[in-house]
Amino acid sequence: MPGSFSTTTLQITTGSTETVTDLTAACERFLQQSANGRDGLLNVFVPHATAGIAVIETGAGSDDDLLAALHTLLPSDDRWQHRHGTPGHGRDHVLPALVPPHATLPVIGGRLELGTWQSVCLVDTNVDNADRQVRLSFLGC
């Protein structure tokens, strides 16, 4: 079916601190341009070995809680075998096992179907690389 797949890449600068970046508005803008009112699936993918995609609540402290939990689970110390970069950088390479580098979300009538408090977020604990790409792909019917 012609026109049933479209994709784009977002360029995101996360800065020099661990971050949770809300991508929901960018996802919605992409769907306005590509879904044309159709049902389908939105895939959000970050092609980096040290970042992930989470669907969580933001703005009420949950994003900070996520970073704190990741710090507890994956401390920035010298325990990691992967040792290049800043001290503790090996933890960043384990992050995608806990926060996967992708999410596939339902699109109904051209709109992202998230729960009331859900947001699509880039989770980046790697302070060595502030430039990230996020690929958005819509497969519609």
Instruction: Flag whether 134 is in a domain.
Output: no
Instruction: Flag whether 96 is in a domain.
Output: yes
Instruction: Flag whether 132 is in a domain.
Output: no
pLDDT < 50: residue spans in the chain: 1
User: 85-113 in b/e burial notation, b at 16+ Cβ within 10 A?
Assistant: eeebbbbbbbbbeebebebebebeebebe
Copy the structure tokens of residue 66.
Answer: 């996520």
Instruction: Flag whether 135 is in a domain.
Output: no
Give the pLDDT of residue 1. 47
User: 37-73 in b/e burial notation, b at 16+ Cβ within 10 A?
Assistant: ebebebbbbbebebbbbbebbbeeebbeebbeebeee
User: How many distinct structural domains can be found in the chain?
Assistant: 1
Give the pLDDT of residue 84. 87
Residue found under tokens 């402290």: 61
Instruction: Flag whether 138 is in a domain.
Output: no
- CATH code, 101: 2.60.120.460
